[in-house]
Amino acid sequence: MQLISGLGRLDRVRLAALIQRTKGTISVSEAAGILKVSPTDAAKMLARWRKNGWVSRVRRGLYVSVPLESRTADVPLEDPWIIADRLFAPCYIAGWSAAEYWGLTEQIFRTVVVMTTQKPRDRSPNIKGTKFLLRTIAEKAMFGLKPVWRGQVKISVSDPTRTVLDMLDDPKLGGGLRSTVDILLSYLRSEKKDTKLLIEYANRLDNGAVFKRLGFLSERFAPAEPYLVTECQSRLRTGNAKIDPSLAADRLITKWRLWVPDSWANGKSK
């Protein structure tokens, strides 16, 4: 455990200026510009403050301040979304993290799902005790997003419709197939439902497997949504897909060209 030591008057003034004029994180270049010192001096200053426990390093050259009331510098991230935006932009919060934000699930997920145009080597980083799940997407797929303010920082989050679509594209982003189905049904029962927009988004994403999954699940679990079934049926492509690439699937639903586990084929999955 790293204990916090004293901070001189000048350092207090400097650190207060950085906290006031930055948005959740402090980089070496920002510190240099705000304090009117060289990048080398700024780096040394931040390193000293880190050693004394007044800031905590997120990664090389990027720091967060330690709350004044904390007795140790070993503190979790105050807002992982801000860190995600700083480290992985252009990006947006997605999957189960977005579903929690929109009230589409009551499950508690410890990992933050982030869709990014970057290609990070580590797709499951653990940053100061917070786990992230990263997925790389093309710039053209950065649509269906809503701005959300976290303090002074504006973060992009997938809107409810895009949140569901991402899970249909990759059920792992919803916590697995069963959880994804629960979130889909919650969406269809909510005021956030927009089935025409869901089809529009699916067209833009241009993944034939999405229509197969959505059509099958809508027919099986949402009979009050014939529009979805009809629209998905009209957009079926050749070839077969799996309802969830991570699951063993031994039954082919020929109507939807979809491989599913035997329990799902027999209607015992819910």
User: Residue ranges of the domains in the chain?
Assistant: 9-65, 79-194, 207-270
Structure confidence at residue 70 as a pLDDT band (50, 70, 90)? low
Mean pLDDT of 23-43: 89
Q: How far apart, in whole angstroms, are the C-alpha atoms of residue 6 and residue 224?
A: 65
Mean pLDDT of 224-230: 96
pLDDT above 90 coverage of the chain, percent: 66
- Burial class of 16 by CB neighbour count within 10 A (0 to 12, 13 to 18, 19+): exposed
Compute the mean pLDDT over every residue in the chain, rounded to the nearest whole number.
90
Residue 130 in tokens:
């917070």
CA of 252: how far to CAs of 244, 259, 265, in Å? 13, 4, 8
| Whether residue 89 has pLDDT greater than 80 | yes
Structure confidence at residue 3 as a pLDDT band (50, 70, 90)? very low
| Whether residue 62 has pLDDT greater than 60 | yes
CATH number for 9-65 (one of 3.40.50.11900, 3.30.565.60, 3.10.290.10, 1.10.10.10): it is 1.10.10.10
